[in-house]
Structure 1
């Protein structure tokens, strides 16, 4: 769709409504907010009714030091700016169904709740309501107040003389003692000096009285001032006492306690019998009516102050308004029958004197004297610096353009006439020579007035009259136009951006649909669907939407002497520092901080849509930034734009887990097995609660601070037992952080399976399983070793049988035959001795063969000591060598295979001692324990450690010993002794070393301890 074809149909006549609607669809605008009634134009109104979760029937409202708004209705509620939370009595409490009748926020941060039904007074602390145990409480608690000394004063809400005081933690009845006059107490106020004011109504409610207890006095004194109906009282910021009754609202005592020198009184609205009152920080007086909404007097001390009404027709939650309160940030809160309302100072002010004209649109121009001119509904308004809009001229609005005149004032260009307006003076000249629709005008540095006519060439006017553009300039089609800071003109159209400096024309293309062309203090700016473009010194630069999406489709830009740049867009109005904007153009990584103003700041509409060309904002001589919108015109006053410097109080609202919730938790111990929980928190800045920003972290879980944005709940899962600390901090609507924040500590107790005893049991069970696995493995290994050894011994026995049954038998048979042959030879036969000698040798061979066959067979002895002693005897040590054999533990029979290998190792060791050690003492220790151990030591010449570790080249005795030990899955250590000599230590697992029956016995002994 060609947008030029759409806007070409636009005009300033009623017949353009259909085309205007099309342009609105192409360039949508924000939803329009309701315009405030007179007197409330500088205030932002926010309401919470039943649809927003507000409770019904709220008649008391206050704020505690932690920032919560507290409401009394059918129950007690607290409000954090987002959600309402009902506060009930603890389960099983005797007064669980008693409704609150009064609220007091004391200076120490506690909340005191007056109760009906003889409930007395309760205090909120530690997340729950606690009874203060007032003795014989009255039927209903009325007004409450706190004195400078910290004592709490409580008046009965009935027609009696009861007055209670809580001092030093004890309740005392002081009504009769202090001579409290009769009547129901409608108001109770304590002055900064400790004086006590009470307002009373008598039976029937037609008359009342004021009484005062001066500091240090012991009796109340009735004031002579006459009051009627049900009077209410309040102190203004100066300490003066005001009363509101059936006749109106007036000051009865000044800040010094004297009758005011000048009577200040505001009449009451009809049918108002009782109106609560309070003063805001600017001295404005607010009143409820309980029947017809509220009223507001901007300056109660002014001689000509006016009371402005505000009711349900204007957006109040209900005309039945009961109570009001001014919070720590200056907002005024109203309690009504169906919810609560908030009024606060708005950043933007909609000027009600300038009407809306959504069909034909509004035009705007600023003059060099600081005046601002706005045309709406065929009326020209002038706004002098510091002044209010005044209508100065009735116009024919068709085909009208407005722009600044360099000689002062403004130009109004029409085809019928051209007007030069300076102040209130108007000069008339002939109109431009065309019946087309003018979109905008601009005067260049040479004094030429240029007018853009849609669909036609430019026209311009100088001292000689009107002229049509010629040449290339005549071919340009112009939609919007501005005067440049350098004295030229610039306009958008086809092509997208054209500048005319003197007689030099520059055409630039390649832009998207332009919705704005504006002049800064030194630059030209253009906005389209891709971002913001700056033209400086003939060079273009762009801030792309990928960096700053909010810079697309701007409608206006204006720069002030304060170093601020205001950007008007369809989503709101942004304020940035001009230096930051320049830096963003120069550095592709530079940020562009902004302050966004939208409906939450009082904007009823951000901008006119792009179907209307011409200037959309300007800076007045008083510094106010004026802008046009679909509801008329509004402005910002930077001099009064005060940021919210109060860091928001931060609180932990609740911790919820497993269906249980702990309100205002301190230090908690959570049930064993808790895995998931939710932590709700609040940042109690109530000016714009939607803009409160949070960061939180849970020590031990979060690596750093989590940016939660506006989210007010932190959820965690898969938590284990341990101690945790949750911290949260918040920033208010202007980015002021409360970095101290709030925190809550909690402990998750372990379940039995998460406890240390269970872990120890698991460790013991694991050790037992490992030991069982090890034992089973050793049994398998021992079984395999025995199997292999049995196979070897069976093979050896088979070889021994074969040798005995074949070779030895054959040799013996052969020897007998030789013996028979020798016996037949004569004694003197020469060869007979040689044969006899051969037969003797054969006998020795047979004997040795029998010994070897015996060695090949399995040993039958199972006593290792016997084997060792046989080896010692066979070795033939010298008698001078002392040999000691020691047995430790109960001797056990060794497995035949282990006995064989152990004996071979011991034999090799004893042989080496006999041959190489030159020892004089040999010690043999045999240990029968869970594992079998054999130690053989001597005091000989010792052994080289390198030789003990590696053995001698070409000799295999030590290597064979280690191989035998490995086959037994044992360990063998050969090392020099500490003093001298050599030590051998062989260790074999009991599962391999001992016979099966010995192993069973050992297991039984271990099980018995």
Structure 2
């Protein structure tokens, strides 16, 4: 289980005022209460998966931009049993392994597993204090005793020849040639060239006191840090740069090159310095740094500067803007209205009162008061003056002009209602908007213009003159425009439905297209059809207080809490109806370094563009300046990682696939998106394929749980994006297999079904057996009754007839008839006894079918005119008793029909034995019949009986006949009953 500290945000955002440093960085701070447990010495390492690693008490800490995860003896088995362990994350090698130094040896972390790195037993007592990896992948390190070691990729540890004497430093650096520089303290610097350790000789007279840091910048300069100075070595020449004197507290502790090439210098007690090659800028705990004792500095891949101190972790986030606050010299916390002159002079009118004039640059502000601070008569309108300077309108109804460096001028207008807006024309005409109408000062004359001259109402909000000479006036309830150049009369301008009437700003973008910004959105007044754009059009907010087009086709809108950049062509397309929403919208908020707060409606304006094209914006708590060509935030998606899996409240090893045993009720997945610049702004969505039908957008939440997943195979996917970027194309994924309980597994269900089928089959066989036994009992009873009654009676009749025949003197013809009767009676008795025997002993031995067919033909057609022939084809095969019996009965019935109805002269019986069945054909040359009618005549059941017998044994019966053409009966008889016929056959054959 990882020890996680979930943060609502760094300490730098807790207050209303933005903490900035060096003009271009925002400071965020994390301390112990935020989950940071820094050790006395803490290296900082950024790994390729995006995480930041730092030392902690008896372990290491990993940071993803929001949460700190601590690895110690409680969750890393390799660290157990070592409560006072000193650990230092050293480096990440080319294979992605994080190397961690400790006082008991080296550890390696990769793929979520920490293990001891068994390289050399001596490292368990000789700690590696500093290490680096060179461009070739070789790891270099310096131990506490001064040994220099190297580990080539995939090789063994090798000790460099030579030794460092009086080693007290902890710093290595590699230059572009591959040489290693080691600052060893006590005036000693070493260079590893090839496999040799060589001391560096400093020029005589160069003061080098205890060099403890070595660093190589991008221009190949080698820097050494000492207690009192920086020493630069480039092209064989040394340069010593003294550090600012801080009373012995300013000894250098670390060096790091910033993204702009300037050096960041940490000290042991004087905070930070930023060195541009000529001068030092200072930033200390008094400015917001967590502590003045700096341990380590790291520049991450995004250009952020991370500073570890004895009391916290500091992030200096490089901003897309340069920020100026009161700390940098602004005369008030809220700048208010702002006018920038082409000469570089800037005028500020804070809402708290006063008027200030001065100059701004990217790092500082210098202002003096042009008017004293009088809140009761504060400046409520500010406008550029023709020829330089500004016009200032006041709450008590005065308007005055101010020039830079000149004494305060007397008001040019007084006794007016509260002034809301001032505008000067090219001819010197001054327009003054007030709470009670519009005033015009021209040639010493003051005219009042109100609703009588066409204004919508007398409360003037904004004035603007477009390039075509039209004066536009926005009042409380609408917009009007002048109908004559002198502005004597005005006419109303219709606004689209849904738009607000109260203007906060009027601006042109592009020239000839006038826009009105209000609390409800953005309205196009002229330059195309009237149109209203707000949230539905893609704006991130309704309120629009300023608008500035840049030279790159974008429009910058001042909105509540920040700035919004839109593509101007897209904006016009939406206004024209050629598009439905804005596609390219970039928002900048407090996390992007904007100095918080929202400006009020007055005084105005708050923005200007300088001759260099830079945009200056007065925000609620400072001024930002940006180059529109460079203010493009990185919106690439952050790396997405699935960090932990918990099942029923306990962590489990993360395997892929993850197999959940039967009975597991709740699975929880913890994931993250690593963004060291703006972690809280990362947004996530996830989907459990096989369970969820669509992606679920969960905002900033970094955990998801599922309860009661049905057995099956699932695939969990999570992806994320930066606040205004695209979704990560791959994200992180994990296969889950929820095992079914025994009674729900496929083989168990199959076995249960087979057992049930066997049980049903057994019950069915038992039922059939019971039916068979009942039928056998009934057949036995019938056989007994036939034997005891009919057979006995017919037997007596036969005896009596034989006796009569023996005693009576019969003529030859009569004797012959009597013999036939006796023969027929004897044959009938024989068949009856056979039938009784068969009923008692079904399935007994029988004669071959051909023999029985010949006997049946002789009986049926004896003494008649019909000749009969029985032939056999194929090798005779035995039929099952049921098939044998029914086949014989069908032949007997067919021959009986021939005798009774056909009047045939010849009958042929053919027994053809095939591979699977016997085909029996009975063909006569008799009169034939109409099968459709004669087969259904009442009282004629022979054909029906044959069909029923054939059906019982699964045989196919065919009859071919026509009147006058004889009859052919064919029956295809199986050798044994099929399983369906056996279920229907009421006799037990086995």
TM superposition score category, shorter chain reference? 0.7 to 0.9
266-275 or 69-78, which moves further after superposition?
Answer: 266-275
Checking the alignment, whether the CA contact within 8 Å between 1:800 and 1:856 is kept in structure 2 is: no
Residue 79 of structure 1 deviates from its aligned partner by 1.3
Residue 99 of structure 1 deviates from its aligned partner by 2.9
Per-residue Cα deviation, 1:563-619 (whole angstroms, up to 9, x for no partner): 211122223221111112112222462334311111111112242134x25323232
In structure 2, relative to structure 1, the CA distance for the partners of 1:563 and 1:389 (3 Å cut) is farther
Per-residue Cα deviation, 1:426-475 (whole angstroms, up to 9, x for no partner): 89575334243111222457753221222x22211112422111524477
Inter-partner Cα distance in structure 2 for 1:866 and 1:853: 15
1:110 match = 97
Inter-partner Cα distance in structure 1 for 2:935 and 2:426: 112
In structure 2, relative to structure 1, the CA distance for the partners of 1:864 and 1:675 (3 Å cut) is farther
RCO greater where, 1 or 2, for CA within 8 Å and sep 6 or more?
1
1:198 match = 182
Inter-partner Cα distance in structure 1 for 2:180 and 2:255: 18
**1:50 equivalenced with 2:32 (yes/no):** yes
Q: Secondary structure at the match of 1:276?
A: strand
Please tell me the root mean square deviation across aligned C-alpha atoms, in Å.
5.2
Checking the alignment, whether the CA contact within 8 Å between 1:729 and 1:742 is kept in structure 2 is: yes
1:132 match = 117
Checking the alignment, whether the CA contact within 8 Å between 1:484 and 1:519 is kept in structure 2 is: no
Q: Secondary structure at the match of 1:550?
A: coil
Residue 506 of structure 1 deviates from its aligned partner by 0.9
**1:258 equivalenced with 2:237 (yes/no):** yes
1:599 match = 590
In structure 2, relative to structure 1, the CA distance for the partners of 1:102 and 1:687 (3 Å cut) is closer
Inter-partner Cα distance in structure 2 for 1:609 and 1:150: 57
Inter-partner Cα distance in structure 2 for 1:373 and 1:908: 128
Per-residue Cα deviation, 1:611-652 (whole angstroms, up to 9, x for no partner): x25323232322222222332433333244243376644444
Residue 517 of structure 1 deviates from its aligned partner by 2.7
1:862 match = 842
2:800 match = none
Q: Secondary structure at the match of 2:569?
A: helix
Inter-partner Cα distance in structure 2 for 1:357 and 1:371: 17
Inter-partner Cα distance in structure 1 for 2:526 and 2:333: 35
1:622 match = 612
| Superposition pairs of residues 730-745 of structure 1, within 5 angstroms | 730-732=720-722, 735=725, 739=729, 741=730
Checking the alignment, whether the CA contact within 8 Å between 2:269 and 2:292 is kept in structure 1 is: yes
**1:77 equivalenced with 2:98 (yes/no):** no
1:285 match = 263
Residue 543 of structure 1 deviates from its aligned partner by 1.9
Q: Secondary structure at the match of 1:307?
A: strand
Checking the alignment, whether the CA contact within 8 Å between 1:142 and 1:156 is kept in structure 2 is: yes
In structure 2, relative to structure 1, the CA distance for the partners of 1:691 and 1:918 (3 Å cut) is farther
Inter-partner Cα distance in structure 2 for 1:854 and 1:403: 136
In structure 2, relative to structure 1, the CA distance for the partners of 1:199 and 1:952 (3 Å cut) is farther
**1:341 equivalenced with 2:311 (yes/no):** no
Residue 332 of structure 1 deviates from its aligned partner by 0.6
228-237 or 746-755, which moves further after superposition?
Answer: 746-755
2:290 match = 317
**1:210 equivalenced with 2:189 (yes/no):** yes
In structure 2, relative to structure 1, the CA distance for the partners of 1:795 and 1:76 (3 Å cut) is same
2:48 match = 65
| Superposition pairs of residues 296-315 of structure 1, within 5 angstroms | 296-297=273-274, 299-302=275-278, 305-311=279-285, 313-315=286-288
Inter-partner Cα distance in structure 2 for 1:771 and 1:453: 100
In structure 2, relative to structure 1, the CA distance for the partners of 1:505 and 1:787 (3 Å cut) is farther
Checking the alignment, whether the CA contact within 8 Å between 1:951 and 1:959 is kept in structure 2 is: no
1:431 match = 412
Inter-partner Cα distance in structure 1 for 2:689 and 2:778: 67
2:272 match = 295
1:831 match = none
Q: Secondary structure at the match of 2:37?
A: coil
Per-residue Cα deviation, 1:862-902 (whole angstroms, up to 9, x for no partner): 3476597767633437674146996759x77x7xxx99978
Inter-partner Cα distance in structure 1 for 2:930 and 2:175: 103
Structure 2 alignment gaps of length 5 or more: 1-12, 798-820, 862-866, 961-968
Residue 42 of structure 1 deviates from its aligned partner by 1.8
Checking the alignment, whether the CA contact within 8 Å between 2:640 and 2:719 is kept in structure 1 is: yes
Inter-partner Cα distance in structure 2 for 1:671 and 1:748: 6
Checking the alignment, whether the CA contact within 8 Å between 1:154 and 1:165 is kept in structure 2 is: yes
Per-residue Cα deviation, 1:749-804 (whole angstroms, up to 9, x for no partner): 9678499xx63564354245335435645765787799899999999999999999
2:565 match = 575
Checking the alignment, whether the CA contact within 8 Å between 1:443 and 1:483 is kept in structure 2 is: no
**1:33 equivalenced with 2:20 (yes/no):** no
In structure 2, relative to structure 1, the CA distance for the partners of 1:542 and 1:463 (3 Å cut) is same
Residue 213 of structure 1 deviates from its aligned partner by 3.4
Per-residue Cα deviation, 1:244-284 (whole angstroms, up to 9, x for no partner): 3322x312412x24313x75654456424452221212122
- TM (norm. structure 2) is 0.76
2:492 match = 506
Inter-partner Cα distance in structure 1 for 2:912 and 2:822: 39
**1:155 equivalenced with 2:128 (yes/no):** no
Q: Secondary structure at the match of 2:599?
A: coil
Residue 345 of structure 1 deviates from its aligned partner by 1.6
1:881 match = 870
**1:448 equivalenced with 2:429 (yes/no):** yes
Of the candidates 513, 516, 528, which is equivalent to residue 526 of structure 1?
A: 516
2:458 match = 477
Checking the alignment, whether the CA contact within 8 Å between 1:123 and 1:132 is kept in structure 2 is: yes
**1:351 equivalenced with 2:317 (yes/no):** no
Inter-partner Cα distance in structure 2 for 1:317 and 1:717: 43
In structure 2, relative to structure 1, the CA distance for the partners of 1:788 and 1:463 (3 Å cut) is farther
Inter-partner Cα distance in structure 2 for 1:325 and 1:847: 124
2:801 match = none
Residue 921 of structure 1 deviates from its aligned partner by 3.5
In structure 2, relative to structure 1, the CA distance for the partners of 1:269 and 1:976 (3 Å cut) is farther
In structure 2, relative to structure 1, the CA distance for the partners of 1:987 and 1:959 (3 Å cut) is farther
Structure 1 alignment gaps of length 5 or more: 1-29, 202-206, 813-841, 928-932, 1003-1009
Checking the alignment, whether the CA contact within 8 Å between 2:474 and 2:503 is kept in structure 1 is: no
Inter-partner Cα distance in structure 1 for 2:385 and 2:761: 104
210-219 or 128-137, which moves further after superposition?
Answer: 210-219
Inter-partner Cα distance in structure 2 for 1:420 and 1:745: 70
Per-residue Cα deviation, 1:642-681 (whole angstroms, up to 9, x for no partner): 4337664444434555667577x68556465578755544
Inter-partner Cα distance in structure 1 for 2:357 and 2:259: 33
Q: Secondary structure at the match of 1:581?
A: helix
In structure 2, relative to structure 1, the CA distance for the partners of 1:658 and 1:165 (3 Å cut) is farther
Inter-partner Cα distance in structure 2 for 1:107 and 1:269: 43
Per-residue Cα deviation, 1:162-217 (whole angstroms, up to 9, x for no partner): 33332465555636x3132223233222323232322234xxxxx55323334464
688-697 or 126-135, which moves further after superposition?
Answer: 688-697
In structure 2, relative to structure 1, the CA distance for the partners of 1:96 and 1:265 (3 Å cut) is closer
Checking the alignment, whether the CA contact within 8 Å between 1:779 and 1:992 is kept in structure 2 is: no
Inter-partner Cα distance in structure 2 for 1:633 and 1:548: 26
Inter-partner Cα distance in structure 2 for 1:164 and 1:382: 58
In structure 2, relative to structure 1, the CA distance for the partners of 1:221 and 1:267 (3 Å cut) is same
In structure 2, relative to structure 1, the CA distance for the partners of 1:300 and 1:402 (3 Å cut) is closer
Checking the alignment, whether the CA contact within 8 Å between 1:443 and 1:489 is kept in structure 2 is: no
In structure 2, relative to structure 1, the CA distance for the partners of 1:488 and 1:51 (3 Å cut) is farther
Residue 301 of structure 1 deviates from its aligned partner by 1.1
In structure 2, relative to structure 1, the CA distance for the partners of 1:918 and 1:489 (3 Å cut) is farther
In structure 2, relative to structure 1, the CA distance for the partners of 1:616 and 1:429 (3 Å cut) is same
May I ask how many residue pairs the two structures share in their alignment? 898
